[in-house]
Every structure is written in structure tokens, then in C-alpha cells.
Amino acid sequence: MRKLRYLDNVVTLELDPEKCVGCQMCVTVCPHRVFAMNGSKAQIIDRDGCMECGACANNCPAEAISVRSGVGCASGIIKGMLTGEEPVCDCDDGCC
């Protein structure tokens, strides 16, 4: 799924490999195949393919994954393009 992209280098997806128990739920539920197994642990193989839906974090029993689901910066950038105004990020940390 490497052809699907939203915005490069803005994804909030994080994986703590120390917490990962190797259940493979993230690999199973991710619609864009962002995760793969590396031995007995999950790894992120395509961070920019993440659409921040939250399925991985919601299904991780070890709470090893965090992602702020929603449209955040993408929404702000698209709105800016449509209106001709400066993009405004809908995130709390002002990442735009």
C-alpha cells in the first residue's frame, strides 16, 4: 500500500517495541498494512501510509501503540487549499 499517501512526515503513530507482546492484532486490523511482524514483535514498515484511523491502538492489548485518530492536520491543509487561506491545524500541539 505504499502508493497511498496523505501527508508525509505528519503521522502521530508510535509503537513501543518494549511493550509489544507479538499478538499481531495491529497487522490484522490495519487497512493500509502499516505494520509487519519482525520475529515476535510488530514493527512499523510504512508510517506515512497510516491514515490515523486508530484501529491498531484500539485493538492492541498491550497498549504498545499510540495514535491520535482523526483528521487533524489533513483537514486543516485541505480546508486551506479550498479556501485559499493559510492552513490551520486542528491538533492541540500546533504541528502545522
Is residue 96 assigned to a domain?
no
Task: Count the domains in the chain.
Answer: 1
**Domain harbouring 74, CATH code:** 3.30.70.20
Higher pLDDT, 27 or 76: 27
Domain ranges, residue 71: 14-83
Query: From CA 29, how far away is CA 93, in angstroms rounded?
Result: 27
Residue 20 carries which side chain, given as an amino acid letter?
Answer: C
pLDDT tens-digit map of 29-58: 999 999 999 999 999 999 988 888 899 999
- Which helix (H) or strand (E) covers residue 35, if one does? strand 35-38
Kindly state whether residue 93 falls inside one of the protein's structural domains: no
**Is residue 31 included in any domain, yes or no?**
yes
User: Which tens digit of pLDDT belongs to each residue from 53-90?
Assistant: 899 999 999 999 999 876 556 666 777 778 888 766 65
Whether 39 maps to a domain, the answer reads yes
Nearest CA among 22, 20, 34, 28 for reference residue 62: 20
